[in-house]
Amino acid sequence: MWRNGVLEAEDFPFEQVSDYLEQEGCLVWADLCRPDAEALASIAEELSLDPHAIEDATSPHERPKATRYMTHLFFSTYALRSVPGQHEPHLTHVSAFCTRNALVTVRSNDGFDIDELIRRWDDNADLVKYGPRALEYGMLDMIVDEYFEFIETLDDAIEDLEGAIFDENPTDPRELQLKSFRLRKGLLRLRRVVLPMREVANTVARRATANDPSNELTPYFEDLYDHILRAAEWTESLRDMMSSIFETNMALADTRLNQIMKQLTAWAAIIAVPTAITGFFGQNVPYPGFGEKDGFWASIVLMALIAATLYALFRKRDWL
């Protein structure tokens, strides 16, 4: 609990929330991680929260969104963290109820670093005096920063994939396809989280500026919205890059297959010459040099000359 922007109490009994909310200048934050139905019902009664918002906060597949109710603002989003060596984000559903002088956060698991969030609020203690809107900004700003960290990880992985595709000695095609599939899957999950955040940030920013006559928080929310736009554009560009890599990989595979077919055709033509000549000399009929050593050497020289000529022609045409 903050009073006039100064931290005054921590880890107090939940039943005291309503007492603090009745006092002038108090700002209360409560956090629930994996709450049960009883805890949610209790806080809903304390703050007069809408039952639809309570349902959205506990839904495991709710899309990011922001909704304004009569007594509070509700927004739902996803925080993510990346694991080294993996390209799929670990998502944590994070929801928030924002009233006139309180903020309640609800987390689906402990993947969202709440200690880091508190540290950020402490680093910007001068903003807390502007009420729960400042807490909203700090929370959303931290979530968006995590988006950028994961996007950078994907960007580096996609660059490595590009290098592997154009490598003169490419790695196992199966391994390349598996890595490409994982990157596309991780990027798809990221897009589902990042793109709707533009609407969330826009709604929260409008509500915050409407309740801030001094407009002190306006530059912060504008900067936050700009960061979300950059994250969305970066995500879309990575999606285009993955599509381009997929098409390029298919084109390179066709090119390599054509090169192999040309080589096989060239060697088949070269091998066919000795077969034809030996087949001719193997006929059971008289021919020039029949039964003589000159005929044997003539066939050997003829096979060598024609095979060498074909080899030179195929090399000149870059088939071998």
228 with 286, same domain: the answer is: no
- Domain CATH for 80: 3.30.460.20
Domain containing 72: what range?
2-253
62 with 208, same domain: the answer is: yes
pLDDT (0 to 100) of residue 136: 92
Last residue of a domain, one of 216, 238, 253: 253
Tally the domains of the chain.
2
300 with 164, same domain: the answer is: no
298 with 246, same domain: the answer is: no
Residue 132 exposed, middle or buried by CB count within 10 Å (0-12, 13-18, 19+): buried
pLDDT (0 to 100) of residue 243: 83
287 with 208, same domain: the answer is: no
164 with 30, same domain: the answer is: yes
18 with 78, same domain: the answer is: yes
**What does the buried/exposed string (b/e) look like for 65-96 if buried means 16 or more CB atoms within 10 Å of the residue's CB?**
bbeeeeebbbbbbbbbebeeeebbbebbbbbb
34 with 106, same domain: the answer is: yes
pLDDT (0 to 100) of residue 77: 93
pLDDT, tens digit, 9 for 90 and up, residues 97-122: 998 889 999 998 888 889 999 998 98
167 with 129, same domain: the answer is: yes
pLDDT, tens digit, 9 for 90 and up, residues 217-229: 888 888 999 999 9
Please give the chain's pLDDT, 320 residues, in tens.
998 888 889 988 877 888 888 888 899 999 988 888 777 887 887 788 888 888 888 887 888 999 988 888 999 999 988 777 677 888 899 999 998 889 999 998 888 889 999 998 988 888 888 888 899 999 999 999 999 989 988 888 888 887 777 776 666 667 777 888 888 888 888 999 999 999 998 888 887 666 666 678 888 888 999 999 999 999 999 888 888 887 777 777 777 778 778 888 888 887 787 777 676 666 555 666 666 777 777 777 887 888 888 888 878 777 66
198 with 267, same domain: the answer is: no
- Structure tokens of 205? 């920013």
pLDDT (0 to 100) of residue 250: 75
Last residue of a domain, one of 253, 287, 302: 253
185 with 279, same domain: the answer is: no
125 with 271, same domain: the answer is: no
Last residue of a domain, one of 203, 235, 253: 253
pLDDT (0 to 100) of residue 159: 85
Bridge partners of 29? 103
